[in-house]
Structure 1
Amino acid sequence: MPPAVAVHGLAKRYRDVVALDGASWTASAGQVTAVLGPNGAGKTTMVECCEGLRRPDAGEVRVLGTDPWHAPADHRARVGVMLQDGGLPNAARPLPLLRHLSSLYATPADLEGADGLVARLGIGAFGATSVRRLSGGQRQRVALAAALVGRPEVAFLDEPSAGLDPHARLDVWDLVREVADAGTAVVLTTHSFEEAERLADHIVVVAAGRVVAEGTLAEVTAGQRLEDRYFALTRKAVA
Structure 2
Amino acid sequence: MNTVTAPAIRVQGIEKSFKDLQVLKGVDFDVARGSIFALLGSNGAGKTTLVRILSTLLKSDAGTATVHGFDVAGAPGDVRESISLTGQFAAVDEVLTGRENLVLIAKLRHLKNPGAIADELLARFSLTEAGGRKAGTYSGGMRRRLDIAMSLIGDPPIIFLDEPTTGLDPQARIEVWQTVKELADRGTTVLLTTQYLDEAEQLADRIAILHEGTIIQNGTLAELKQLLPAATVEYVEKQPTLEEVFLTLVGAGAGNDNGKDS
- Please indicate, yes or no, whether the TM-score normalized by the shorter chain is above 0.5: yes
Aligned to 1:197: 201
Deviates more, 1:96-105 or 1:206-215: 96-105
TM-score by length of 2: 0.78
Query: Within 2, Cα distance between the matches of 1:77 and 1:65?
Result: 12
Amino acid at match of 1:36: L
Cα 1:72–1:122, aligned 2, differ >3 Å: closer, same or farther?
Answer: same
Q: How far is the alpha carbon of 1:176 from its aligned partner?
A: 1.2
Q: For this pair of structures, how many residues does the alignment match?
A: 236
After superposition, residues 132-211 of structure 1 pair within 5 angstroms as 137-211=141-215
TM-score by length of 1: 0.84
Superposed CA deviations along residues 119-142 of structure 1, whole A, max 9, x for unmatched, are 6254853764366x8765554333
Aligned to 1:230: 246
Partner SS for 1:81: strand
Q: How far is the alpha carbon of 1:93 from its aligned partner?
A: 4.9
Q: How far is the alpha carbon of 1:221 from its aligned partner?
A: 2.4
Are 2:64 and 2:72, in contact at CA under 8 Å, matched by a contact in 1? no
Query: Within 2, Cα distance between the matches of 1:20 and 1:50?
Result: 13
Partner SS for 1:77: helix
Q: How far is the alpha carbon of 1:89 from its aligned partner?
A: 5.5
Q: 2:119 aligns with which of 112, 116, 135?
A: 112
Q: How far is the alpha carbon of 1:215 from its aligned partner?
A: 1.2
Query: Within 2, Cα distance between the matches of 1:51 and 1:186?
Result: 13
Overall identity of the aligned pairs, in % = 37
Cα 1:95–1:126, aligned 2, differ >3 Å: closer, same or farther?
Answer: closer
Aligned to 1:49: 53
Are 2:11 and 2:29, in contact at CA under 8 Å, matched by a contact in 1? yes
Q: How far is the alpha carbon of 1:92 from its aligned partner?
A: 5.3
Q: How far is the alpha carbon of 1:18 from its aligned partner?
A: 0.9
After superposition, residues 9-24 of structure 1 pair within 5 angstroms as 9-24=13-28
Aligned to 2:134: 129
Say which one has the larger Rg.
2
Query: Within 2, Cα distance between the matches of 1:106 and 1:77?
Result: 17
- Provide the aligned C-alpha RMSD in A: 2.9
Query: Within 2, Cα distance between the matches of 1:106 and 1:8?
Result: 38
Are 1:159 and 1:189, in contact at CA under 8 Å, matched by a contact in 2? yes
5+ residue gaps, structure 2, are: 229-239, 255-262
Query: Within 1, Cα distance between the matches of 2:49 and 2:142?
Result: 25
Q: How far is the alpha carbon of 1:46 from its aligned partner?
A: 0.6
Superposed CA deviations along residues 179-231 of structure 1, whole A, max 9, x for unmatched, are 11222110011122222112110111101011111111111222521001101
Query: Within 1, Cα distance between the matches of 2:113 and 2:182?
Result: 18
